[in-house]
Structure 1
Amino acid sequence: MFGTPALSSPPSLRKPDTPLAEGSGLRLAGDDVAAVDSPVHALQRELARLEPPGEEGDSPREKAPGWLRVGMTLTISIMLWLVIIQIIGALWQ
């Protein structure tokens, strides 16, 4: 946690001596302001075009319940370890 700080210099906490120019501060957007098209929005539009359209009845395949998936994984793992131990025991003798 200690070491090189993320900032090259600590931020200044005092107010600036000169006031901000008119219109350069924060303001609320009105209804007459057009939306800005950012590169992120353009990328999202391109990616949406590449995805195949899903049909209304199209749903992903049903998965088995979590307890069954975890249980099968543990069972198979234990069985494989028992086989490995038996093979090692047979080679050891």
Structure 2
Amino acid sequence: MEKTQMLEQTRKLAQITPGKAIVFGIGALLLAPTVISLLKPVAKATIKTGVVLYEKTKSSLAETAEVLGDIVAEAKAEVIAERDHQVVLPSGVNSEPSLHDS
């Protein structure tokens, strides 16, 4: 919608007389219970869907965190194992043990 059209609509709304505003207000009050009763099942279904999605996401994130924790623990164990298997030479240079070392 262009700015000019929006301005036109705003001007038209601003020209509503107090009598019309009262009629609109009363109409809204009379229709509110009907509209609310119609929208309640929609709102409830939307919220229910949101709760289900939240629970599934929460479960998936917990599983992912557990898998990542396992991977980190395995990586740390491998680093420690590799560090324990390294041989420190007199010059201070680290080297992997060779197949010929016994």
Whose RCO is larger (CA < 8 A, sep 6+)? 2
Higher helix share: 2
Q: TM-score, normalised by structure 1?
A: 0.36
